[in-house]
Structure 1
Amino acid sequence: MSDTQTLIENRPPSVAALFLERVAKTPNAEAYRHPVPTASGEGPEEWRSLSWEQAAERVYAIAAGLMDLGVRPEERVALASSTRVEWILADLGVMCAGAATTTVYPQTNAEESSYILADSASRVLIAEDAGQLAKARERRADLPDLAHVVVIDNDGAEAAGDDPEGWVLSLADLEKRGRDYLERSPEAVRERVAAITADQLATLIYTSGTTGRPKGVRLPHDNWSYMAKAIAATGLVTAEDVQYLWLPLAHVFGKVLTSGQIEVGHVTAVDGRVDKIIDNLPVVQPTYMAAVPRIFEKVYNGVAAKARAGGGAKYKIFQWAAEVAREYAKASQDNYRRTGNASVPFGLGAKHKIADTLVYSKLRDAFGGRLRAAVSGSAALAPDIGFFFSGAGIHILEGYGLTESSAASFVNPGEAYRTGTVGKPLPGTEVRIADDGEILLRGPGIMEGYHGLPEKTAEVLEPDGWFHTGDIGELSVDGYLRITDRKKDLIKTSGGKYIAPAEVEGQFKAVCPYVSNILVHGADRNFCTALIALDEPALLGWAEDNGLGGRPYAEVVATPQATALVQEYVDRLNEGLQRWQTIKKFRLLPRDLDIEHGELTPSLKLKRPVVEREYRHLIDDMYTGSKEA
């Protein structure tokens, strides 16, 4: 048996047990960093640290506090909060109490939050602030199982002041109850952790879904214990790393990163405020971070817009450097694949050195200057954007997984990464491609099933453990997986041609620096069309330079100049497509797509049915009076 197999197969039954091991192993090492506003509310925020032992004191207090409230093993404790250090401490507290965390996105409206709390039969809700508390109060009559709400922030705790029933308490109150409980029963938490079995429920994550009610995905403790060991076995992260964690922890991608960190023991800097990413990176100086493709797209568009604003000469330099980066990345990756050496021809290397001085070094500095690698997941990254960052020295390792597979089923292997693929399976995970191209997975990361939905579970999970992902893909001879599309998202035109819209959309994002979101439509139609939302800062910057300054986004996109601008990029896209894939017509949307209007999932995936329904009039208009293409 190999060392990797031994590491994975001899895993403990839970991450709670791993956490206790980590605290015992490196009690004084730094575990977490988190921002704290200054007392005056002005000036740069202070970043404070927690050692593993300090984190454990709070985790045990939360766990014991929940036990004092009567929470029993496998009972659900919901967590509705943005990404912050308290989210991690609370989640670990829930697991150390033997209970199960129900994750709720803080953006979720009162109706859907109520559905998740009721369907999961959550006994306690840990809510971030008064706003999250208000949602629970609004629907309290529909939540007979919800015995308590614990509020993290002080404003929420103050809002609980008029609650005579004790239904609401602050996180500080919960921790005090826990410390008192531990004075009476000092070994209570350790005993509860020791009693956890691998098949006990640890997490209930409701898929945001693109249609219908979300389904609760049941992930037992063993899923996370396996993920922790498998991530460590890849060798991609070390104890010396500093991770910057901003992803939504209610999403499985963010959640799995917390398990890997506990096993490896590195530092994690936690701040979920997306608008602070650019400010935080130079302060945190991470060695690795994970993100969704939209973040890399926004950075790319921002760099391109800045270069354009600097005048024609600067923009030409950027365009030249971008092409050199892509050429360099393709050449080095290709050579590594063939020889194990990432060298490139001398002339290309010389051009790359000049471009590095002019462009790439500044880009790396913007990421903090120490970034070894970034992991991209949740959706497909346009290969041209991936090659650009790769050539600029920001190595993006694409990965793949689903909520139902505990997030990390595939990841690109370090130096041997291949842009445009999601890499190889994690140790212990099996993969095969079905006759129709669907990717099937089997292994210790696969869910137990959908909560209370045995029929839905049977649709995707075979008796022998193979899980149907619903994604279409191809495996290379040496085991690299390339995702081509969602099975249900494949478009079949009225002419009988199949089109993968995500592939076309990704190519357009690489071509057009102004795009924010794009939806390609064409199912049962005689040609393809697109709905396009533009990136507001990039568009308004362009407007300033083209006589449209001072106008709001909606006015700018409605101008013939904006349509002509985008038409140029659509024409460029079409040059590289098959005839039946080309975009014959498009419409610019009056605003960007967003989570608040239900058009994007919290992980920024496009909800196609919602967008197509909302903008049906624009789609129909593009096909009015059309003839066969």
Structure 2
Amino acid sequence: FLSWASLRERGARLHEQDPAVLEKLTDAVEPHQPVAMMYTSGTTGDPKAVVLSHYNVLYEAVALNRAVPVDKHQPAIAYLPLAHIAERELAIYRALYEATHIYVCADPGQVVGTLATVRPTSFFGVPRVWEKIAGGLRAALASMPEGDRAGALPTIVHQLGLDQITWPVSGSAPLAAPVREFLASAGIDVLEVWGMSETTGCATANTPGDAKPGTVGRPLPGVEVRIAEDGEIFVRGPIVFLGYLQPDGTIRKETDEDGWLATGDIGTLDEDGFLTITDRKKELIITSSGKNVAPTKIEGLLRAHPLVGYALAVGDRRPYLTALITLDEETAPGWAAARGITGTAAGLAAHPAVRAELDALVEEVNGKLARAEQIKKYRVLPSAWSPETGELTPTLK
């Protein structure tokens, strides 16, 4: 590693040798030259090296500002890995364009505490982060005497540091409707966006004053979206990446002759131009009877409960769906303590009261699903999932 002091020393030496060294470098940069290479998370296959251009990242920053104008020097938190396109765009490229004040939270597990210190005006969270925030709000309410709960949410939201947010954003995966609705009842109207590394992050967005719950919004200015006959979403515009880096150093273009990129996501466009994501094309479960099932919808409904950390629907080429569930290490003990039950999340997995609650949850979720989507059996695992243990990617997918 190169220390900051060594970097400054090298820079000073270069500048002394040639005072115009920086200008020579910047003047030589062309808009469509690569600015960054980042790997996809590889949730549906081997990771691919996505190459972005200077034009890609700056256009995305400008388009976001057109869609959601923000004042200069606003505080923001960077807590996701910089391998995540949303963090890279928001914490580096848009931050440079908007002169945002970035507070780095090195441990994503501490982001909720950091919110109270920074009090950002916008905040991007993957669904798991919003689920944890919702769980924290519910736990705080549950710990209060019943008579004090009415009207308490604004105070709790202020204590969490979310009272200044004007654009709370969720992306990377669908946010379950019960979570979104609960947060909205607390005054946090989380707006969903959609995109991928290959579209330099956000391609469509719900924005304050132009949003439709359950969708991921309209295309950004200058971006086009169309739906193929099989439901796959195609994107065209200045945010589409240069291509994938190949082993020989070349960049393989992925768009067709008309500039359209096949995203691998399935969705629909309504009459107002709002996009709804159904699922990843490669993640659809096809049961033994030939029914196509979108697992993210089922998993999101299960994760909306404060007991549940993660859920995985299983059923490809099987007669019915089952699920694996892990308890939330942070909110499950609080849920249990409020009911006079003690123990860690791992110890609670076999507790009769927890099992009864999960039985009721699965029954409730099944009531919201079509017959082919319903969970017939489930198992609670004794340990949590994490990137360190290998079940999750660094972006918690």
What TM-score, normalized to structure 2?
A: 0.93
How big is the shift at 1:600? 0.9
How big is the shift at 1:472? 0.5
How big is the shift at 1:370? 1.4
The answer to whether the Cα contact below 8 Å between 2:115 and 2:160 also exists between their aligned partners in 1 is yes
2:120 is aligned with 1:286 = yes
Within a 5 Å distance, the mapping from 1:192-203 to structure 2 comes to 192-203=25-36
Greater RCO, CA 8 A, separation 6+: 2
**Matching residue of 2:321:** 528
How big is the shift at 1:588? 0.3
2:308 is aligned with 1:515 = yes
1:95-140 deviation digits (Å, cap 9, x = unpaired): xxxxxxxxxxxxxxxxxxxxxxxxxxxxxxxxxxxxxxxxxxxxxx
Within a 5 Å distance, the mapping from 1:174-573 to structure 2 comes to 174-210=7-43, 213-239=46-72, 241-257=74-90, 258-310=92-144, 313=146, 355=150, 357-452=151-246, 457=252, 460-510=254-304, 512-545=305-338, 548-549=341-342, 551-573=343-365
How big is the shift at 1:284? 1.5
What is the SS of the residue equivalent to 2:279?
strand
In the alignment, the residues of structure 2 paired with residue 415 and residue 182 of structure 1 have an alpha-carbon distance, to the nearest angstrom, of 48
What is the SS of the residue equivalent to 1:222?
helix
In the alignment, the residues of structure 1 paired with residue 361 and residue 108 of structure 2 have an alpha-carbon distance, to the nearest angstrom, of 28
How big is the shift at 1:196? 0.2
In the alignment, the residues of structure 1 paired with residue 306 and residue 380 of structure 2 have an alpha-carbon distance, to the nearest angstrom, of 15
- Shift of the 393–568 alpha-carbon distance from structure 1 to 2, 3 Å rule, reads same
How big is the shift at 1:250? 2.2
Identical positions, percent:
38
Structure 1 stretches of 5 or more lacking a match?
1-148, 151-169, 319-354, 606-629
- Runs of 4+ more than 6 Å apart: 453-456
In the alignment, the residues of structure 1 paired with residue 168 and residue 232 of structure 2 have an alpha-carbon distance, to the nearest angstrom, of 27
The answer to whether the Cα contact below 8 Å between 2:137 and 2:156 also exists between their aligned partners in 1 is no
How big is the shift at 1:572? 0.9
How big is the shift at 1:467? 0.7
- 369, 375, 379: which is aligned to 1:587? 379
In the alignment, the residues of structure 2 paired with residue 179 and residue 456 of structure 1 have an alpha-carbon distance, to the nearest angstrom, of 35
1:209-240 deviation digits (Å, cap 9, x = unpaired): 12554211111211112112212221332226
Structure with the larger helix share:
1
What TM-score, normalized to structure 1?
A: 0.60
In the alignment, the residues of structure 2 paired with residue 403 and residue 275 of structure 1 have an alpha-carbon distance, to the nearest angstrom, of 23
1:296-349 deviation digits (Å, cap 9, x = unpaired): 1011112223333446x36xx86xxxxxxxxxxxxxxxxxxxxxxxxxxxxxxx
What is the SS of the residue equivalent to 1:524?
coil
- Shift of the 457–590 alpha-carbon distance from structure 1 to 2, 3 Å rule, reads farther
- Shift of the 367–400 alpha-carbon distance from structure 1 to 2, 3 Å rule, reads same
- Shift of the 583–456 alpha-carbon distance from structure 1 to 2, 3 Å rule, reads farther
What is the SS of the residue equivalent to 2:152?
helix
In the alignment, the residues of structure 2 paired with residue 437 and residue 188 of structure 1 have an alpha-carbon distance, to the nearest angstrom, of 51
How big is the shift at 1:378? 1.3
How big is the shift at 1:285? 1.8
User: Which letter maps to 1:513?
Assistant: P
In the alignment, the residues of structure 1 paired with residue 60 and residue 251 of structure 2 have an alpha-carbon distance, to the nearest angstrom, of 25
- Shift of the 411–535 alpha-carbon distance from structure 1 to 2, 3 Å rule, reads same
- Shift of the 235–573 alpha-carbon distance from structure 1 to 2, 3 Å rule, reads closer
What is the SS of the residue equivalent to 1:415?
coil
1:572-619 deviation digits (Å, cap 9, x = unpaired): 1111211121111100011111101221111111xxxxxxxxxxxxxx
What is the SS of the residue equivalent to 2:282?
helix
The answer to whether the Cα contact below 8 Å between 1:283 and 1:368 also exists between their aligned partners in 2 is no
What is the SS of the residue equivalent to 1:599?
coil
What is the SS of the residue equivalent to 1:530?
strand
2:370 is aligned with 1:578 = yes
* Count of aligned positions: 395
The answer to whether the Cα contact below 8 Å between 1:243 and 1:288 also exists between their aligned partners in 2 is yes
- Shift of the 544–389 alpha-carbon distance from structure 1 to 2, 3 Å rule, reads closer
User: Which letter maps to 1:281?
Assistant: L
In the alignment, the residues of structure 2 paired with residue 545 and residue 552 of structure 1 have an alpha-carbon distance, to the nearest angstrom, of 14
The answer to whether the Cα contact below 8 Å between 2:193 and 2:205 also exists between their aligned partners in 1 is yes
User: Which letter maps to 1:597?
Assistant: T
- Shift of the 212–370 alpha-carbon distance from structure 1 to 2, 3 Å rule, reads closer
Structure 2 stretches of 5 or more lacking a match?
none
User: Which letter maps to 2:40?
Assistant: T
**Matching residue of 1:601:** 393
What is the SS of the residue equivalent to 1:595?
coil
In the alignment, the residues of structure 2 paired with residue 424 and residue 522 of structure 1 have an alpha-carbon distance, to the nearest angstrom, of 33
User: Which letter maps to 2:197?
Assistant: T
In the alignment, the residues of structure 2 paired with residue 306 and residue 368 of structure 1 have an alpha-carbon distance, to the nearest angstrom, of 15
The answer to whether the Cα contact below 8 Å between 2:140 and 2:156 also exists between their aligned partners in 1 is no
How big is the shift at 1:475? 0.7
1:417-443 deviation digits (Å, cap 9, x = unpaired): 222111111111111000000000011
Root-mean-square deviation (CA, aligned residues, Å) is: 2.2
In the alignment, the residues of structure 2 paired with residue 222 and residue 595 of structure 1 have an alpha-carbon distance, to the nearest angstrom, of 32
- Shift of the 364–411 alpha-carbon distance from structure 1 to 2, 3 Å rule, reads farther
In the alignment, the residues of structure 2 paired with residue 575 and residue 456 of structure 1 have an alpha-carbon distance, to the nearest angstrom, of 48
User: Which letter maps to 2:13?
Assistant: D
User: Which letter maps to 1:243?
Assistant: A
How big is the shift at 1:176? 0.3
The answer to whether the Cα contact below 8 Å between 1:387 and 1:419 also exists between their aligned partners in 2 is no
- Shift of the 545–284 alpha-carbon distance from structure 1 to 2, 3 Å rule, reads closer
The more displaced of 222-231 and 262-271 is: 262-271
The answer to whether the Cα contact below 8 Å between 2:314 and 2:323 also exists between their aligned partners in 1 is yes
